[in-house]
Structure 1
Amino acid sequence: MTVVAPKVEKEEEQVVNPWEVSAGKGGIDYDKLVDQFGCQRLDAATIDRVARLTGRPPHRFLRRGLFFAHRDFNEILDLYEKGEKFYLYTGRGPSSEALHLGHLVPFMFTNAFYENMVKVARCVTYNKVVGIFGFSQEDHIGKISFPPVQAVPSFPSSFPHPFSGMEQLRCLIPCAIDQDPYFRMTRDVAPRIGCQKPSLTESRFFPALQGESTKMSASDPNSAIYVTDSEEKIKMKVNKYAFSGGQDSAELQRELGANLEVDVPIKYLNFFLEDDHDLEQIKKGYGDGSLLTGKVKNLLGDVLYEVVKRHTRARAQVTEEMVDAFMAARPLPNMFG
């Protein structure tokens, strides 16, 4: 008799880097990322310290563990406690997959910035970036040349107008965990060019509407909610595309309740619903079956539309003079509320 061993499906390997995020059905293992990248957990003691120093509840992203890891965040809190200044570095990448020569024009024109790019580039060998980013022979030159561009806003000397005479000002970078390799490289280079290491707070990923196993994509407008979406479009996307952990029928939902671990509406509410009590009540009702999927999706649609409406209203009020005033050096407000 021939015995055939059962086929064992190979578990999909987790891949997280600045260009690709993928994981198996279980989703991203964030504990594994902390170990892999060598950053630290944002623990309860640190978050309690934020509350104590600011005299107000920490931002919901902190208190709900959405920002979950850091590098030297406590050093920024030390500065804040002493009344000393620091600045935030955050932003968005170029619209194309890689920098082209046209992207270099503003960098070269604002040459404090460009000089720092050159300094960083000279300190990082090809073998070093291969070790950090895992570049291969097939990777194009844009990916290999971009890390110094990402690095230099961490240094105040890259911005001589607002930070003149403040070359040792510390920088705090809030970012998703996949951006950590850029700033691990930056922190390694900083002392070699006479600069302070930036500190980081690192967040979980914001899932696509279709779930954590997919990525939001500009080529698929139904994978995300955009700040230009109308109320009708937001609610259509939520109702049609948001992956549900609820049951297939109202009867089963009332009997079994929803799987909150995979439910995208709950994940979105975790990011955007401010009131902790309301969020817990929704989770409880949805999990025990007393709330149906349609009700939860309708609640989410209302919350997301309010977010977009506030953004649209605020953006319409922005003038060139306001942008100029914002970019000028000034005392820093509370960054943690």
Structure 2
Amino acid sequence: MHGVRGGPIVSLLRRRKKTIVGRWNGVSGRNGGWMVVVLQVVVEVLDAYERGDKFYLYTGRGPSSEALHLGHLIPFMFTKYLQEAFKVPLVIQLTDDEKCMWKNLSVEESQRLARENAKDIIACGFDVTKTFIFSDFDYVGGAFYKNMVKVAKCVTLNKAMGIFGFSGEDHIGKLSFPPVQAVPSFPSSFPHLFPGNDKLRCLIPCAIDQDPYFRMTRDVAPRLGYSKPALIESSFFPALQASGENGKMSASDPNSAIYVTDTAKEIKNKINRYAFSGGQDSIEKHREIGANLEVDIPVKYLSFFLDDDTELEHIKKEYGEGRMLTGEVKKRLTEVLTEKVERHRMARAAVTDEMVDAFMAVRPLPSMFE
């Protein structure tokens, strides 16, 4: 599976939706490249949109930790970009049941983490009139459960083991989960949102590690009378210590990631101590041959988060040619991320329990396509 740089994705979106103005840094053509379009059906969905057909967005979060890191937030930032650009509804699944089974969390703790993570998601700025957030523990049932059963009947045990790598040592709860993640792709799973609109297409922005679930879903969908969902899959946001394309931010290693709860001092310390540099091992050598921007993590992070294109290109040119030093680049990244994290922290602090309840209420969204 070969990746496509972020730029062509935005170009594709803009060609299909010419009224889009501005851009979102995480998918702009000048970033390090992180998005991959894996299915031609994305183009089909956007072609249909131009003809007047609607679609809805579906993404999710497995709530296994108290705090999110920047790698968790970027897919939601991209999803918000899509929602605003195309003026379409969004369903966000919180798979608290999955984390209860995979992470050995109690049901109660999984539910608590789901609500805490929902606050971080809401803080990204989603529109409550177009967004339905649901917890599996709270929502599964009715039409949603009927679709789960239909999917389960279409997938043999051998096939599930081949797709997901299940073994005889796994408990049966893990075997039961894939249909839960599959069926938000089907509009009939949300009768309060899409009554009688079973042909509505679904576009799923997600991380690339979710591909097995949706490969299964795409195989099953036509057999159940639904359109295959379209996917825009992201590669992993790199860990601070990563070099090249290997390594992702990990909740199990707090020094690999910048968390939205990190203080300015913690952000500075992590960047200075752990961010992998493409600079040379001496100032003299660096001045002579410059930095390797392909492996430099501070430059990759600035490509996502620095709003000023002109400044970014200046940094890349000066650093790449040895006139700017690693310490200067890390200092600028520290400033940028500190501002971003503080802005998110303030937005999250403004999210009340009543706001979470409003996003998670089972209700129609009469203005969701406006």
Is contact 1:50-1:58 (8 Å) kept? no
Indicate the RMSD between aligned Cα atoms, in angstroms: 2.9
Q: Deviations over 1:117-163 (max 9, x none)?
A: 22111111122223433444455544433221221111122222223
Matching residue of 2:302: 269
Is contact 1:113-1:152 (8 Å) kept? yes
1:220 paired with 2:220, answer: no
Q: Distance in 1 between matches of 2:359 and 2:233?
A: 25
Query: Across the two proteins, how many residue pairs are aligned to each other?
Result: 297
Matches within 5 A, 1:200-279: 200-211=231-242, 212-279=245-312
Q: Distance in 2 between matches of 1:105 and 1:91?
A: 11
Q: CA deviation at 1:210?
A: 1.0
Task: Report SS of the residue matched to 1:51.
Answer: helix
- Matched AA of 2:60: G
Change in 2 beyond 3 A, CA 1:267/1:143: farther
Q: Distance in 1 between matches of 2:5 and 2:297?
A: 24
Q: 2:49 aligns with which of 60, 73, 80?
A: 80
Task: Report SS of the residue matched to 2:261.
Answer: coil
Q: Distance in 2 between matches of 1:76 and 1:266?
A: 34
Is contact 1:46-1:74 (8 Å) kept? no
Task: Report SS of the residue matched to 1:202.
Answer: strand
Change in 2 beyond 3 A, CA 1:218/1:147: same
Task: Report SS of the residue matched to 1:205.
Answer: coil
Q: 1:182 aligns with which of 213, 224, 228?
A: 213
Is contact 2:9-2:27 (8 Å) kept? no
Q: CA deviation at 1:85?
A: 2.6
Q: Distance in 1 between matches of 2:241 and 2:9?
A: 33
Q: 1:51 aligns with which of 14, 17, 31?
A: 14
1:63 paired with 2:28, answer: yes
Greater relative contact order structure (CA < 8 Å, 6+ sep): 2
Task: Report SS of the residue matched to 1:56.
Answer: coil
Change in 2 beyond 3 A, CA 1:330/1:225: farther
**Larger CA Rg, structure 1 vs 2:** 1
Q: 1:144 aligns with which of 155, 162, 175?
A: 175
Q: 1:123 aligns with which of 145, 154, 168?
A: 154
Task: Report SS of the residue matched to 2:293.
Answer: coil
Change in 2 beyond 3 A, CA 1:256/1:70: same
- Matched AA of 2:44: E
**TM-score, reference length from structure 2:** 0.71
Change in 2 beyond 3 A, CA 1:130/1:67: same
Q: Structure 1 residues 324-333 or 73-82, which shifts more?
A: 324-333
Gapped runs of 5+ residues in structure 1? 1-32, 35-39
Matching residue of 1:21: none
Gapped runs of 5+ residues in structure 2? 65-98, 111-134
Is contact 1:243-1:263 (8 Å) kept? yes
Q: Structure 1 residues 291-300 or 71-80, which shifts more?
A: 71-80
Change in 2 beyond 3 A, CA 1:138/1:280: farther
Change in 2 beyond 3 A, CA 1:42/1:210: closer
Identical aligned pairs, as a percentage?
A: 61
Task: Report SS of the residue matched to 1:73.
Answer: helix
Task: Report SS of the residue matched to 1:305.
Answer: helix
1:110 paired with 2:141, answer: yes
Task: Report SS of the residue matched to 2:198.
Answer: coil
Q: Distance in 2 between matches of 1:330 and 1:300?
A: 42
Q: Deviations over 1:29-80 (max 9, x none)?
A: xxxx33xxxxx85797764342242332443333334222232111221243
**TM-score, reference length from structure 1:** 0.77
